Amino acid sequence: MSLRGIVPPDPETGVSQVRFAVIFTPRQNRKRYPAGCVEIFPDRQAAIQAADPAGKRHAARVVGPSKSSEGQFIYYLLDWLQ
């Protein structure tokens, strides 16, 4: 897994870690998403089942949450799930 350009997970706190999620977004061309657009799921299958591409809800693997320089909590996209 490449974490280039991403704040790496903190192994001591477990706050920012790899997670499965559904991201609400009209376009899938960004590398980071605000926490308000990200819904976390317990596993890959649950995220895939909750996805609704027609409703702009896409399953993904993300790292986060991290605090951005603007003070918002964000998730970094690792990859989209099929």
Give per-residue pLDDT as tens, 10-60.
555 556 789 999 999 999 999 999 999 999 999 999 999 999 999 999 999
As a whole number of angstroms, the distance between CA 52 and CA 62 comes to 17
For residues 4 and 46, which has the higher predicted lDDT (pLDDT)?
46
- If we measure between CA atoms, which residue out of 37, 17, 30, 36 comes closest to residue 80? 30
Residue partners of 26: CB distance under 8 A and separation at least 6:
56
Query: How high is the pLDDT of residue 69?
Result: 84
* Closest alpha carbon to 4 in 29, 25, 28, 31: 31
Of 16 and 76, which is predicted with more confidence?
76
18 and 44 Cβ atoms separated by less than 8 Å: no
Pairwise pLDDT comparison (72 vs 1), residue with the higher score: 72
